[in-house]
């Protein structure tokens, strides 16, 4: 069972306003969540104390919600609360993630849902960016853009063509004829290189090292950053990378910078690689992490750096869930 929430404001305390707005709000919730009558167990309303002309529950019954339990309650007078506001919670037998609906003046109550949200998560390899970003994207039900995957795809293009990733002029030739795109399939990012889905192929340790080298070149970065900005402009999303807060979206309202000691990060990467079937000695992973740290933070263009206005989170002794929940709370407190 899931709880679906919503709210709407009225223009005034009249029976007609209550009837029409309750019908509108419930209709939007039903259609966004693809509910059928049998899914709905009960609908609970509460309304601000300035609405006394009609019960929202009665309006729901009149609007055709016959088979579920209906409740209405009056909220106490609270200073600063929205005028003429009806809140609703629907308990429904659904398995999908609930889509909460906030309409008219009530959209201000949940800006995290009703406004475009861009969240920048930067940090070095193994700091937990991707796991944390996936949790945040699922919490807010927004896209997750793994920008590293795009640089990895560029690196794979160079590897496939036998081009040395440090050779800028050769890399530039590859960049010109290479098409990198991302698509979302069932809400999950898939990364395409010249039309081929390379989402798994780009995760090898060799591609990791080459991505870091390839990402140092302006010809690659300009192309990838342009694509990232287009996606961020069109969608609410969490972007993880090295330069999101400093360069890709310097105006993003929410910026976080994750860190951890190289040893902890190497340990995490070792486990991740093991799961994917790449067995490497700890010392080798640690050395790769350290090399990438140096390459990423000393390159001339858009180096790995904490944006001045980013919140730094040291994740050594924190689980990904703890980090994600801290970030989600920060966002909710400040929207």
Kindly tell me which residue out of 151, 254, 256, 257 binds ligand CDP, with binding defined by CB under 6 A. 151
290-329 residues near ligand CDP, rule: CB under 6 A: 292, 296
Say how far residue 29 (Cα) sits from the centre of its chain.
22
Please report how the helices 147-160 and 168-177 are oriented relative to each other, as an axis angle in degrees rounded to 10.
Answer: 100
Smallest distance from the beta carbon of 186 to ligand CDP, in angstroms?
21
Distance CA 138, CA 151 (A): 24
Smallest distance from the beta carbon of 120 to ligand CDP, in angstroms?
10
153-184 b/e (C-beta count within 10 Å ≥ 16 → b): bbbbbbbeeebebeeeeebeebbeebebebee
Q: Which is nearer to ligand CDP, 85 or 220 (CB)?
A: 220
97-116 residues near ligand CDP, rule: CB under 6 A: none
Kindly tell me which residue out of 5, 134, 223, 242 binds ligand CDP, with binding defined by CB under 6 A. 242
Q: Which is nearer to ligand CDP, 48 or 246 (CB)?
A: 246
Interface with ligand CDP includes 208 (CB under 6 A)?
A: yes
Interface with ligand CDP includes 57 (CB under 6 A)?
A: no
Interface with ligand CDP includes 125 (CB under 6 A)?
A: yes
Smallest distance from the beta carbon of 296 to ligand CDP, in angstroms?
4
CA dist 124 → 4, 30, 186, 200, 243 (Å): 37, 43, 28, 21, 10
Which range touches ligand CDP (CB under 6 A), out of 6-14, 29-37, 62-70, 143-151? 143-151
3-state secondary structure of 87: strand
Interface with ligand CDP includes 210 (CB under 6 A)?
A: no
Q: Which is nearer to ligand CDP, 77 or 283 (CB)?
A: 283
Kindly tell me which residue out of 17, 39, 112, 243 binds ligand CDP, with binding defined by CB under 6 A. 243
The set of residues, in sequence order, having a beta carbon less than 8 Å from that of 71 and lying 6+ positions away, is 42, 43, 44, 45, 57
The set of residues, in sequence order, having a beta carbon less than 8 Å from that of 175 and lying 6+ positions away, is 154, 217, 219, 220, 223
Interface positions with ligand CDP (CB under 6 A): 125, 130, 147-148, 151-152, 208, 211-212, 215, 241-243, 292, 296
């Amino acid at each position: 069972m899931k709880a679906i929430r919503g709210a709407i404001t009225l223009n005034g305390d009249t029976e007609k306003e209550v009837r029409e707005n309750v019908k509108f709000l419930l209709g939007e919730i039903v259609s966004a969540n693809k509910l059928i009558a049998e899914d709905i167990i009960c609908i609970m309303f509460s309304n601000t104390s300035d609405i006394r002309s009609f019960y929202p529950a009665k309006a729901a019954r009149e609007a055709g919600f016959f088979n579920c339990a209906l409740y209405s309650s009056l909220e106490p007078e609270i200073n600063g609360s929205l005028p003429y506001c009806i809140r609703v919670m629907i308990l429904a037998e659904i398995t999908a993630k609930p889509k909460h609906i906030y309409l008219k003046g009530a959209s201000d109550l949940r800006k995290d849902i009703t406004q475009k949200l861009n969240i920048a998560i930067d940090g070095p390899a193994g700091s937990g960016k991707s796991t944390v970003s996936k949790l945040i994207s699922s919490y807010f039900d927004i896209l997750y853009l793994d920008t590293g995957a795009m640089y990895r795809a560029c690196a794979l293009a160079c590897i496939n063509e036998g081009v040395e990733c440090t050779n800028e002029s050769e890399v530039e030739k590859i960049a010109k004829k290479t098409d990198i795109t991302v698509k979302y399939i069932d809400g999950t990012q898939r990364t395409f290189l010249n039309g081929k889905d390379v989402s798994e192929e780009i995760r090898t340790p060799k591609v990791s090292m080459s991505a870091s080298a390839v990402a140092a070149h302006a010809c690659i970065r300009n192309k990838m950053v342009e694509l990232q900005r287009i996606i961020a402009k069109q969608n609410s999303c969490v972007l993880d990378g090295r330069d999101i807060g400093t360069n890709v979206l310097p105006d993003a309202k929410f910026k976080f910078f994750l860190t951890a000691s190289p040893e902890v990060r190497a340990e995490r990467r070792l486990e991740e690689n093991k799961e994917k079937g790449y067995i490497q000695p700890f010392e080798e992973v640690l050395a790769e992490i350290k090399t990438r740290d140096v390459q990423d933070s000393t390159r001339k263009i858009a180096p790995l750096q904490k944006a001045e206005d980013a919140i730094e989170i040291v994740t050594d002794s924190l689980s990904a869930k703890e980090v994600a929940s801290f970030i989600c709370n920060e966002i909710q407190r400040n929207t």
